[in-house]
Amino acid sequence: MARGFFISFEGGEGVGKTTQIKRLAEYLREAGHEVIETREPGGSPGAEAVRHVLLSGAAEALGAKLEAILFAAARSDHVETVIRPAVEAGKIVLTDRFMDSSRVYQGVTGGLSEDFMDALERVAVNGMVPDLTFILDIEPEEGLKRAASRRSEGEAADRFEKEQVEIHQRRRQAFLEIADNEPERCIVIDASADADKIANDIRKCVSEALSVAAEDTPKKSRAK
């Protein structure tokens, strides 16, 4: 591919994004693709510096707006130093969370206005919207149990895992609404299914999307 491909994985806590990203990356590398695995908050040196502040809850006391601005600043650095250069070099980028998480966590359950979040998103992503987004969906109670089981002994829940189940329910619905509103980009995956089935479903979707992208590239070249 002359241009690479950008895939984001979204969903609530404990849905298995990290596991599925690793499995997809292995599959794509075996198929001959160059793959970059990354995450948010973080993914670049500048963004990683902000990650601890956000997930530890240190920024929570500063208010929802400032927290959202910190997420946006981290995302902007991530986009410009990691994601955009990789995609422009023909690589496939897989990210654990991206703009939809901010829409849900800071926008919907953070109580920030849609106009404010839209403005932040435009600046942060600067046109770098995922070609494909997988929304891994599971009952929040089950996801929180999974998240708790993967923590090391004595390790505390992070800033978002510790919140009430009702908030996680709202986030689940918000992710599903995003998928309903943007079906050309988003695919909902049942994260309660067997991990092998999930991986196979994701591979099929990605293979189809890459085939379509490869077919479209010559057309775009001729159009120029």
Indicate whether 153 pLDDT > 70. no
pLDDT digits (tens, 9 = 90+) for 61-90: 778 899 899 999 999 999 999 999 999 999
Q: Give me the pLDDT at residue 222, please.
A: 36
Q: For the residues 167-185, what does the mean pLDDT come to?
A: 97
CA 103/CA 119 separation, integer angstroms: 11
Q: Residue type for 216, please?
A: D
Q: How many domains does the chain have?
A: 1
Q: Write the CATH number for 176.
A: 3.40.50.300
Q: Which of the 8 DSSP states describes residue 60?
A: G
pLDDT digits (tens, 9 = 90+) for 78-129: 999 999 999 999 999 999 999 999 999 999 999 999 999 999 999 999 999 9
**Which pairs from 15-20 meet CB under 8 Å and 24+ separation?**
15/136, 15/137, 15/138, 15/143, 15/146, 15/191, 16/136, 16/146, 16/191, 16/195, 16/198, 17/96, 17/97, 17/136, 18/96, 19/195, 20/134, 20/136, 20/195, 20/198, 20/199, 20/202
Q: Which of the 8 DSSP states describes residue 106?
A: I
Q: Which of 101, 202, 210, 219 is nearest to 160 (CA)?
A: 101
CA 138/CA 127 separation, integer angstroms: 30
Domain span including residue 184: 5-223
